[in-house]
Chain A
Amino acid sequence: DTGVSQDPRHKITKRGQNVTFRCDPISEHNRLYWYRQTLGQGPEFLTYFQNEAQLEKSRLLSDRFSAERPKGSFSTLEIQRTEQGDSAMYLCASSLYDTTEAFFGQGTRLTVV
């Protein structure tokens, strides 16, 4: 296993369009996290899955955002009706347990024009 992988690496979309990102965690990791990182800032927590259950959502996750993790494996993050303020790097991370190290993917950079 080569670590957490995210697809696509870059996405440019027009305002108002929907976009979907995918994250494949390390295979044995049942915890999965999504973060958002805007320019000049550190990552901010968005949401957390334990297996297929979405257990926690940040207030940053507006109604236009939805995340899923069917079957507890890969996860998708969808943004509907994108806005320019959604432009950011979206990072995914996974860990084996809640208290063990989280490994981050390379991120998906979203640009909304």
Chain B
Amino acid sequence: AQSVTQPDIHITVSEGASLELRCNYSYGATPYLFWYVQSPGQGLQLLLKYFSGDTLVQGIKGFEAEFKRSQSSFNLRKPSVHWSDAAEYFCAVGGLSGSARQLTFGSGTQLTVLP
């Protein structure tokens, strides 16, 4: 069975600082990996996804993530955080070509940004 672990429940960073959110997955084959962001009162928005190819994936809003097969990780990074990045971030793994009907989400990391 596929699973996702996000070890950090809550992270606080200062505006302008760099950010790394951790994600570890368990999946029997080559996974489809996603990062979503959820702002208060909003639905999930896809930040980026990895299916194959280059292990460093660029997404929207200046985010990137690196797939490391040897570590079963897909960490999300941003070089300089903005106050508007405060939200909850979810990592997800999927099979079946990344279909939304087979997504398994982690429990999320809440990001607080200090002025």
Contact = CB atoms under 8 A, between A and B. Distances in A.
Interface of A: 4, 31, 33, 40-45, 48, 55-56, 91, 93, 95, 98-99, 101-107
Contact of B105 (A33, A43, A95, A99): A43
Interface string B76-103: 0000000000000010100011111111
A42 B42 contact: no
Interface string B54-82: 00000000000000000000000000000
A42 B90 contact: yes
B52 to A, nearest CB: 13
A56 B96 CA distance: 13
Contact of B43 (A44, A98, A106): A106
Contacts of B17: none
A45 B107 contact: no
Nearest to A42: B105
Contacts, number: 60
B105 A31 contact: no
Q: Secondary structure of the B side of the interface?
A: mixed
Contacts of B104: 45
A99 B101 contact: no
B21 to A, nearest CB: 13
9 contacts: A31-B100, A42-B106, A42-B107, A43-B44, A91-B44, A93-B43, A98-B99, A103-B43, A107-B43
Nearest to A6: B43
B90 A99 contact: no
Given A41-B107, A41-B108, A101 B46 contact: yes
Contact of A42 (B92, B97, B100, B102): B92
B8 to A, nearest CB: 13
A91 B43 CA distance: 8
A56 B102 CA distance: 10
A33 B100 contact: yes
